[in-house]
Structure 1
């Protein structure tokens, strides 16, 4: 089986928000699109990512025309992966950084997609093997010649365990 790559499961129809958009407009856009977050662009360049929870906490932020702006509440740290990266690398990034979306960019930094936990779940539901070709997993696996030792059968295991 082949290694599942980000390009195989990413969302390519990415909705973006301009950095100078009002928080009210951003909430409306996310709601209309049925998404929970989006990359934020300034002159075509990714400058951040904003989520519904960022927008919900927009009280007391810098305002333009008496409206809070997206660029004052967005996360300026952008976690990105490449289309050719193994899916498990992206999953590990999302878990390690506790993020719900990874921006997919080309080597030149152009936005080509987004990867979310829902994309990964969809792939799993369709029967894709997310860990195929996951060399980090293979390196961690232990191979035992004695299956009884590998699973811990025997009385000594039960008597030493505590809860």
Structure 2
């Protein structure tokens, strides 16, 4: 079993010049949290809910307060949103998605093994939730963590592993 066996082939994409507001509206209507960004058939990036949330985060209004005295007590840090103006979503609605997307995302080929996919999607340092699948430069699919789990389950069931229910 490889990437081609677990990927979703019908991939919804956005273009680099699509507006942030438009992409936010599309995300509200789907059951996933990001899109590959494709320009003239070539993958140029990935945009996620996290990228869009970061766009509207007002860092200078947040006060971080450490609580606890190490090493006796673990230090916890709490964030308090200080009073201030509301976030103006309209201020970024017309921005192109290319201004917030992640460029040069990690990708895999259709023949990538499940072990290779697992190494990428389970790596906490990379924190990747989706892997675009390429055939050369062409986007042919996408694999999410959920796709990989379903594939591992099918492989386990096919092998007749005990406890596979």
**Superposed displacement of residue 59, structure 1:** 3.4
**Could you say which structure has the higher strand fraction?**
2
* Relative contact order higher in (CA < 8 Å, ≥ 6 apart): 2
Corresponding residue SS for 2:112 = coil
Which residue does 1:122 correspond to in 2? 150
| Unaligned residue ranges in structure 1 (runs of 5+) | 133-163
SS state of the match for residue 24, structure 1? helix
1:53 equivalent to 2:50? Answer yes
Secondary structure at the residue paired with 1:92?
helix
The answer as to 2:110 corresponding to 1:113 is no
Summarize the Cα distance change of 1:59–1:69 in structure 2 as closer, same or farther, 3 Å threshold: farther
Query: Does the 8 A contact of 2:47 with 2:100 survive in 1?
Result: yes
> Secondary structure at the residue paired with 2:21?
helix
Counterpart among 124, 127, 131 of residue 98 in structure 1 = 127
Q: How many residues align structurally?
A: 124
User: Do structure 1's residue 5 and structure 2's residue 5 form an aligned pair?
Assistant: no
- Partner of 2:55, secondary structure, is coil
- Greater Rg by CA: 1
Q: Is the 8 A contact 1:82 1:105 kept in 2?
A: yes
State which of 15, 18, 33 in structure 1 corresponds to 2:15.
Answer: 18
Whichever structure has more helix as a proportion of its residues is 1
Where in structure 2 are there 5+ consecutive unaligned residues? 58-89, 160-165
User: What per-residue deviation string (whole Å, max 9, x for no partner) do you get for residues 52-102 of structure 1?
Assistant: 111122239xx9997122101110131111111111101212233220011
Query: Which whole-Å CA distance do the structure 1 matches of 2:17 and 2:91 have between them?
Result: 9
RMSD, aligned CA: 2.5
Instruction: Tell me the TM-score normalised to structure 2 length.
Output: 0.67
Per the alignment, in what secondary structure is the counterpart of residue 45 of structure 2? strand
Answer whether contact 2:19 2:93 (CA < 8 A) is retained.
Answer: no
Q: How far apart in 2 are the matches of 1:79 and 1:111?
A: 13
In the superposition, the TM-score normalised over structure 1's length comes to 0.68
Asked if the contact 1:100/1:116 (under 8 Å) is kept, the reply is yes
